[in-house]
Amino acid sequence: MAKGPNDKQNIATRLVSAGRRPEWTGPVVNPPIWRASTHLYPDMAALKDGPRRNEDGRFFYGRRGAPTQWALAEALTEIEPGAAGTILYPSGVAALAGALMAVLKAGDVLLITDNAYDPTRAMGLGLLTDFGVETRFFDPLDPASLEAAICERSRAVLLEAPGSLTMEVQDVPALATIARRHGLVSVFDNTWASPLGFPALERGVDITVMSLSKHVGGHSDLMMGAASAGEKYYALLRKRAQQLGQVVSPDDAALALRGLRTLGIRLKQETSSALQIAEWLRARPEVAQVLCPILPGAPGHEIWARDFTGGCGLFSFVFKGGDAQARARFVDALTLFGIGYSWGGYESLVVPVDPAPIRAVTPWPPAGWDPADRFGLRLAIGLEDPRDLIADLERGFAAL
């Protein structure tokens, strides 16, 4: 579906107005929740014409959505510069799978950045292998590593910046350029920054994916994912999603729309708090590394400052020495940070960082670090007062 009249508005305004077509909202502010498996036709002529008009905004059958889902897809398209459309999926992992299965076939080679989200790696080494796709990994910080991994069967490259646990910031425009030069489709997991902080398609990426369970939902109460692309790859995404029967519930779409409206101000607050906490952690004698791209002087900050216009509250830090038991005491002493996966909600979370067993081509700890500095934590900073979160982290350090 073509973008609506909002595509020339500034992003803060677009977040409020996108997807709110009068024919979908009626006299109310938000699109109502259309719960419908069956769409009715007025006559046989309309029934016959239905399959010929495969686009959002055309009633056909519940699996293709209705106004609630269409409004969310259009809103996401309107905040993604260069997108022709967006496909919704029941989770972020489903969105990654849908994007990869749209562009890969048996015999192809997929190249995945070595700092990718663990379920992404598992998909490459499991699901896609079962369908005859070979997966290879490359060093996220070395474009030559990607170039060297490309062969005549290579078809797609999956990028992620920053990395989910270790926060490396890839040179995405350079990697996307290499991919395009070799005829590869670039798929980018943009959950960390969202298009508000990194307009991926404008930076040269072909397909950009987000877990809407994170920042867009914002309240830790829904599971959903999305993939956006220009016309060519949007058509492939839509075809494969329909073949796989991918659909999201209208109730969850309404929750995602609600979260989307406040995405901008929540990201600003989380980023501000994360920077304050990262600066405090860097001064702690118990901390060897603060892996926070928005922090000046931190690994990856220069590329982040060049390519990104925003960040979020997700970053990691590494203890100076120590062991797993000390780290566990630190975490168990916390009272404000919940122990749990995911991030991007209003509440702060913590999980351990132990990437060594899953890395394929890059070591952990990285070369040049003290080998003893390997026990890390990933913090997801929420909307609590950062002073209270710092006090909570002090309780953790006291328990070491």
Active site residues: 63, 117, 189, 214
From 300, 277, 296, select the one nearest 287 (Cα to Cα).
277
Distance from the Cα of residue 54 to its chain's centroid: 27
Check if the beta carbon of residue 342 is closer than 8 Å to that of residue 213: yes
Tally of CB atoms within 10 A around 367: 6
Burial 36-52 (b: 16+ CB within 10 A, else e): eeeeeeeeeeeeeebee
Q: How far apart are CA 18 and CA 79, in angstroms?
A: 8
In Å, how far are 40, 41, 55, 149, 377 from 46, measured between CA atoms?
10, 6, 15, 51, 57
Residues 6+ apart with CB under 8 A from 193: 161, 308, 310, 311, 312
State the number of CA atoms in the 13 A half-sphere of 114 facing the CB. Answer: 22
SS percent in the chain: helix, strand, coil, step 5? 40, 15, 45
**DSSP state, residue 326:** H
List, in sequence order, the alpha helices (H) in the chain: 11-17, 22-25, 44-49, 67-78, 92-103, 118-125, 127-130, 143-149, 172-181, 194-197, 231-244, 250-261, 263-282, 301-307, 324-333, 386-398
